[in-house]
Structure 1
Amino acid sequence: MGQHHDHEYKEYVAKLIVEEGRVAREVAYELEIPSTTIHRWVQKYKQKVQAAKEPSEYVTPSELEKLKKEHLKEVEKLKEENEILKKAMHIFTKNQG
């Protein structure tokens, strides 16, 4: 009798193939899961994504890197704006006295 994997695991494996561009056959070999099983998981995942059209609660490594980069850009922008406001505040308070 075959192994049973939970939904999160199946979705993660499917995301590796669909979104990370991994080869299903290689992933199947690495995880010791029949490639037909993985192809079925990928089909179900694609159907789910097609129906939902919203992001999953699980993030692949490339998605995580993309989010980190976006976050860092936003933090840098906010730091720069904060410095500008500090300088403006200094100028306005200096002219008050």
Structure 2
Amino acid sequence: MGSTRRKFTQEYKDEAVALVLGSDRTIAEVAKSLGINETSLGAWVKKAKDTGEAEEKPLTVSERAELEELRKKYAQAQMDLAFLKKVASFFASDQK
């Protein structure tokens, strides 16, 4: 009553990876449309990226600008958090 394990050719895997990397679709969307396990497709994409067989699309100018803005906001949030921790520590020690 065990399930049979499906085997995929390397060509099929490469084409599935190309679908993920060559479009704006997520791994989950592509896996669902192909009828394969999302985890398997994710592993194929990771392997392709790790071995350099597949390269990600370069960022567009707007994506690069957004990334830079998010990095600045993250740095500011980290500084705010550090300050708030110091203030909380000050008030906690002041109560004793």
**TM-score category, normalised to shorter length:** 0.3 to 0.5
Bigger helix fraction: 1
TM-score normalised per structure 2: 0.47
Higher relative contact order (CA 8 A, sep 6+): 1
